């Protein structure tokens, strides 16, 4: 197909996404109308919960369409290969949307028969046959393997591409050789990774230059953070991919509400990697329900006394600073308005357990939670027992009382887009291993890369990764413009679920060896599983963030 025909195909694919998206608006309107409280005119939570499964599926369709649209838009500026990859992704997305939507079409006002007609338009069927057939996908996969293509041509400027290449080398030469031992022996991240990472400016990607970071003082630069995160995660999610996350959330909270003194003290230390930090939000009985945090911080002479438990505090042992969300108002009816953020200093502690005892009798103890994957940083259960921190620990001082939830949310949006980049990095590593193995391994006298099924798997993996990467780039630009909160949730939802599929397929291509711990793909698979859980569990993100907002904004039909 020639360039003009490909351009028309891309345009038709984009039009189909816009058409389907408008149909989804009808579904959200239907749910809104059925869930409204007749007296207050607001959404009734109990009624809304009757549409949980429908809302969950709709959120995924919206996310998949958005990611595919981003890839199609970029393909319009690219070459023939980019167009074929984007259209392959579109075909996969359209088929998935049909599978998700048709069974529930009548429930959400779309109508199964009418929706079927939407998917059966002649132009769409022709495009699906042209770019989504087994023959078309196999041809694409064969080309990718033959040319040993790992990714589409870079869309980054020269500075960003240089940054990407720098961290790619760091991942290959420093992280990857140590990743397997860290995972299999459940070790701490060694200084051999931490020190050179700090020297490269890894910890300062989201901190302004005036505080020693890499972020321009006059404008945000989320793309740099995404580029670095992806390459670190390609080396190892547990040993490097999450190094930026914690200082980023801490920095965003300090920039959003910290006093000048707090910013001047902590941001340079975080940027230089001089002080490692962890974020302590989740509690045993609250999970993703941040507004229900119960750990108490009560005023005492010259400071605050902390009592309670936290869980899933990643990197808490090695960290010297914990950013802790605590309830500073005894009145629990205040909900999230009674929460504040505190900066808790502690010594760095190696291993899987630690206890910090204070002369005043207070104590902070931590125990690492044994996990399936994502090892190296260790996620801890924490117990605060009469643990005292100074008055200066309260982010924002008295002006920060009751503002902890908002400061936390300022960091979480960036955390979501960064988690999408982590997912892309893990997927990229899995793809590279799968393509290499498929070219080198033969069965029944034929290289795996020559089999149609392997070629199709690789084509789909490649297209999915390309969509994840391009969507994250697009969202980064939106966030730097002060928008993109919804899109940050969408890209996380899409990329993290995709990582499970891509890493699974990489294991399948390896056959029995893919299940062996000595092969990196087994690590990618268990690491990928955590991505849909942290930084907003998949279900909470789909129901309470994405679907809820789209339903609230929908017009009543």
Quote the pLDDT of residue 218: 86
| CA-to-CA separations, 259 to 220, 247, 300, 392, in angstroms, rounded | 20, 17, 21, 9
Domain ranges of the chain: 3-132, 277-398
Quote the pLDDT of residue 489: 93
pLDDT in tens, 400-415: 999 998 888 877 767 7
Q: Which residues are catalytic?
A: 535
C-alpha dihedral, 231 to 237 to 241 to 245, nearest 10°: 150
169-176 mean pLDDT: 97
Quote the pLDDT of residue 4: 75
Best CATH choice for the domain 3-132 from the list 1.20.140.10, 3.50.50.60, 3.40.50.80, 2.170.120.20: 1.20.140.10
Contacts (Cβ under 8 Å, ≥6 apart) of 461: 427, 430, 431, 434, 502, 505, 506
Contacts (Cβ under 8 Å, ≥6 apart) of 175: 193, 232, 235, 236, 239, 240
Phi then psi dihedrals of residue 322, to 5 deg: -110, 130
Do the beta carbons of residue 369 and residue 311 sit within 8 Å?
Answer: yes
Q: What percent of the chain has pLDDT over 70?
A: 98
Band (pLDDT 50/70/90 cuts) for residue 220 is confident
| CA-to-CA separations, 555 to 5, 25, 450, 548, 552, in angstroms, rounded | 38, 8, 52, 13, 8
Band (pLDDT 50/70/90 cuts) for residue 431 is very high
Give CA angle at 368 (534, 528), nearest 5°: 35
Phi then psi dihedrals of residue 452, to 5 deg: -60, -45
Q: Which residues pair with 357 in a beta bridge?
A: 363
Band (pLDDT 50/70/90 cuts) for residue 554 is confident
- Taking the C-alpha atoms of residue 297 and residue 285, their distance in angstroms, rounded to an integer, is 18
Do the beta carbons of residue 131 and residue 9 sit within 8 Å?
Answer: yes
- With a cut of 80, say whether residue 535 has pLDDT above it: no
**β-strands 303-314, 277-280: how paired?**
unpaired
Model confidence, pTM:
0.93
C-alpha dihedral, 503 to 505 to 508 to 513, nearest 10°: -30
Quote the pLDDT of residue 534: 82
Buried-exposed string 309-319: b where 16+ CB fall within 10 A, e elsewhere: ebbbbbbbbbb
At 394, list the tokens. 């309260």
Phi then psi dihedrals of residue 535, to 5 deg: 60, 35
Q: What percent of the chain has pLDDT over 90?
A: 81
pLDDT in tens, 133-148: 999 999 999 999 999 9
Per DSSP (E only), the strands in 191-320 are: 277-280, 296-300, 303-314
DSSP assignments along 119-170, one per residue: HT-HHHHHHHHHHSSHHHHHHHHHHHHHTT--SPPP-S-HHHHHHHHHHHHH
For the chain, how many residues are written? 557
pLDDT in tens, 379-392: 999 999 999 999 99
Topology alike, domains 3-132 and 277-398: no
Band (pLDDT 50/70/90 cuts) for residue 2 is low
19-38 mean pLDDT: 93
Helix axes 222-235, 158-170, angle to 10 degrees: 20
DSSP 292: G
Quote the pLDDT of residue 288: 58
Contacts (Cβ under 8 Å, ≥6 apart) of 548: 43, 48, 55
pLDDT in tens, 444-471: 889 999 999 999 999 999 999 999 999 9
Q: Is 434 exposed, middle or buried (0-12, 13-18, 19+ CB in 10 A)?
A: buried
* Number of other residues whose CB lies within 10 A of the CB of residue 352: 15
Q: Is 162 exposed, middle or buried (0-12, 13-18, 19+ CB in 10 A)?
A: exposed
- With a cut of 80, say whether residue 260 has pLDDT above it: yes
CATH class for the domain made up of 277-398: mainly beta
- Taking the C-alpha atoms of residue 143 and residue 445, their distance in angstroms, rounded to an integer, is 21
């Amino acid at each position: 197909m020639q360039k003009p025909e490909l351009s028309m195909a891309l345009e038709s694919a984009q039009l189909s996404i816009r058409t389907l998206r408008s149909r989804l608006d009808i579904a959200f309107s239907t749910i809104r109308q059925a869930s409204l409280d007749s007296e207050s005119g607001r959404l009734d939570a109990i009624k809304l919960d009757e549409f949980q499964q429908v809302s969950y599926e709709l959120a995924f369709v919206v996310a998949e369409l958005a990611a595919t649209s981003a890839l199609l838009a970029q393909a319009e500026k690219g070459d023939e290969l980019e167009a074929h990859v984007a259209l392959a992704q579109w075909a996969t997305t359209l088929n998935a949307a049909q599978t998700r939507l048709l069974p529930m079409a009548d429930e959400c006002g779309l109508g199964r028969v009418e929706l079927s007609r939407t998917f059966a338009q002649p132009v769409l069927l022709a495009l699906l046959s042209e770019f989504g057939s087994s023959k078309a996908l196999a041809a694409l996969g064969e080309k990718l393997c033959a040319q040993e293509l790992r990714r589409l041509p870079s869309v980054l400027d020269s500075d960003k591409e240089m940054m990407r290449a720098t961290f790619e080398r760091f991942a290959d030469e420093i992280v990857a050789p140590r990743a397997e031992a860290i995972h299999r022996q459940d070790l701490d991240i060694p200084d051999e990774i931490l020190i050179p990472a700090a020297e490269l400016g890894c910890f300062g990607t989201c901190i302004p230059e005036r505080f020693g970071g890499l972020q321009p003082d006059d404008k945000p630069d989320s793309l740099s953070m995404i580029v670095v995160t992806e390459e670190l995660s390609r080396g190892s999610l547990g040993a490097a991919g999450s190094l930026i996350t914690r200082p980023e959330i801490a920095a965003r909270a300090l920039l959003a509400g910290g006093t000048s003194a707090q910013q001047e003290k902590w941001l340079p230390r975080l940027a230089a990697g001089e002080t490692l930090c962890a974020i302590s939000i989740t509690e045993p009985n609250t999970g993703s329900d941040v507004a229900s945090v119960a750990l108490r911080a009560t005023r005492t002479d010259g400071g605050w006394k902390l009592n309670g438990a936290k869980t899933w505090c990643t990197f808490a042992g090695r960290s010297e600073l914990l950013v802790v969300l605590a309830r500073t108002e005894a009145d629990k009816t205040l909900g999230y308005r009674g929460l504040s953020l505190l900066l808790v200093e502690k010594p760095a502690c190696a291993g899987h357990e630690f206890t910090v005892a204070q002369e005043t009798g207070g104590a902070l103890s931590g125990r690492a939670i044994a996990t399936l994957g994502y090892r190296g940083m260790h996620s801890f259960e924490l117990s605060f027992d009469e643990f005292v921190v100074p008055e200066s620990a309260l982010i924002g001082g008295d002006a920060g009382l009751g503002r902890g939830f908002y400061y936390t949310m300022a960091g979480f949006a960036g955390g979501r887009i960064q988690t999408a980049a982590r997912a892309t990095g893990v997927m990229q590593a899995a793809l590279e291993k799968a393509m290499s193995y498929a070219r080198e391994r033969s069965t029944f006298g034929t290289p795996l890369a020559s089999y149609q099924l392997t070629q199709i798997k690789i084509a789909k993996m490649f297209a999915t990764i390309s969509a994840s990467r391009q969507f994250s780039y697009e969202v980064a630009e939106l966030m730097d413009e002060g928008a993109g909160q919804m899109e940050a949730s969408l890209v996380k939802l899409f990329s993290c679920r995709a990582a499970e599929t891509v890493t699974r397929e990489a294991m399948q291509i390896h056959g029995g060896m893919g299940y062996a711990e000595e092969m990196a793909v087994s690590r990618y698979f268990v690491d990928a599983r955590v991505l849909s859980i942290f930084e907003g569990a998949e279900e909470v993100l789909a129901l309470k963030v994405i679907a809820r907002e789209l339903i609230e904004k929908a017009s009543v039909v």
